[in-house]
Amino acid sequence: MPAPLLARAKINYALHVTGRRADGYHLLQSLVAFAEFGDVLSAEPTAGADHALTLKGPFAGALAADTAGDNKTGDNLVLRALDALARAFGTALPPLALTLDKRLPVASGIGGGSADAAAALRLGFAAMAGREPGEDEMARLAEIAGTLGADVPMCLASTPALVSGTGTEVASLPRFPGHAILLANPGLPVATPEVFARLERRDNPPLSPLADSDLATFDALVGWLEGTRNDLETPALRLAPPIAEVLAALRVAPGARLARMSGSGATCFALFAGIEEAEREARRLTDRHPGWWIQAAPVAAVA
């Protein structure tokens, strides 16, 4: 059986909404990176006739009950990913007993459900083929991922990328400076379609070009990010005002270089040069806001 997979939290460091397609989906440009923290998906063979999924972990109950947002298909997005995989490759997949350790809050703008679906595709492929996918097979997995949700393709590799289109066009970044991230969520699920619906403008300015030198150091990355935005922040704040308190707390955290909301919220993040600073601020925020979900994690370098 394949080893358990980490379904890393996806963070939109910048997210510009630049248009809307005729089918209602929005065109966007985003720089995404992934924390070394996430849900964990594991699989065992089963004597049963079908795949089975067991949820555990701090947000298992929230996932089972969730009807709010981009995780609304929640647990069965993992099972749908396995079905789509078997159909696309025309191969029978041995029935799997899956366990999803749900450590990321649901409907929270950090891609939990999408990361789980991407992990299911990779785990399912490994169970089917007994090896990692090659380049052509990865491209097919990305196609299948796009049918499961706009954020699923970027979660497949879960490495820093510039994404465009509706989110399904993913260009991996050739280098990325390692640093640390602090994630904070006020415990309030946000429905992605409702945030998009509250946008005042859908033709916002695009991202400024990203030069190789902008990725050379953490300082350079922060400098580039200062000229970017998350266009979903204003509509999300209107829908869920407590997000403002989270942003304010992160902005004044000593050592925080940039504080912003991820995706359609409500999770916000702050970037730090090192994990010790991020963990220190995580402890401080946890003391002050016991009701919030708070997590510090490294963001791996790409060299």
- Identity of the residue, 105 or 167, whose beta carbon is nearer to ligand C5P in the bound complex: 167
| Binding region for ligand C5P (CB under 6 A) out of 23-31, 56-64, 236-244, 274-282 | 23-31
Minimum distance, C-beta of residue 213 to ligand C5P, in the bound complex (Å): 29
Q: Which among 39, 70, 151, 231 is annotated as catalytic?
A: 151
Handedness of CA 30, 34, 39, 44 (dihedral sign): positive
**Applying CB under 6 A, does 99 fall inside the site for ligand C5P?**
no
Minimum distance, C-beta of residue 36 to ligand C5P, in the bound complex (Å): 23
**Applying CB under 6 A, does 246 fall inside the site for ligand C5P?**
no
- Pairwise CA distance, residues 67 & 50, whole Å: 25
**Applying CB under 6 A, does 18 fall inside the site for ligand C5P?**
no
- Identity of the residue, 69 or 177, whose beta carbon is nearer to ligand C5P in the bound complex: 69
- The β-bridge relationship of strands 52-56 and 96-101 is parallel
**Applying CB under 6 A, does 233 fall inside the site for ligand C5P?**
no
Residue 11, annotated as binding a ligand = no
- Pairwise CA distance, residues 255 & 259, whole Å: 11
- Identity of the residue, 20 or 280, whose beta carbon is nearer to ligand C5P in the bound complex: 20
- The β-bridge relationship of strands 26-45 and 5-20 is antiparallel
Minimum distance, C-beta of residue 147 to ligand C5P, in the bound complex (Å): 10
Residue 114, annotated as binding a ligand = yes
**Applying CB under 6 A, does 149 fall inside the site for ligand C5P?**
yes
- The β-bridge relationship of strands 52-56 and 26-45 is unpaired
**Applying CB under 6 A, does 142 fall inside the site for ligand C5P?**
no
- Identity of the residue, 151 or 214, whose beta carbon is nearer to ligand C5P in the bound complex: 151
**Applying CB under 6 A, does 166 fall inside the site for ligand C5P?**
yes
In the annotation, is 10 catalytic? Answer: yes
In the annotation, is 72 catalytic? Answer: no
Active site residues: 10, 151
**Contact residues for ligand C5P, defined by CB under 6 A:** 25-26, 28, 70, 149-151, 166-167, 192-193, 196
Binding site residue list: 105-115
Binding site residue list for ATP: 105-115
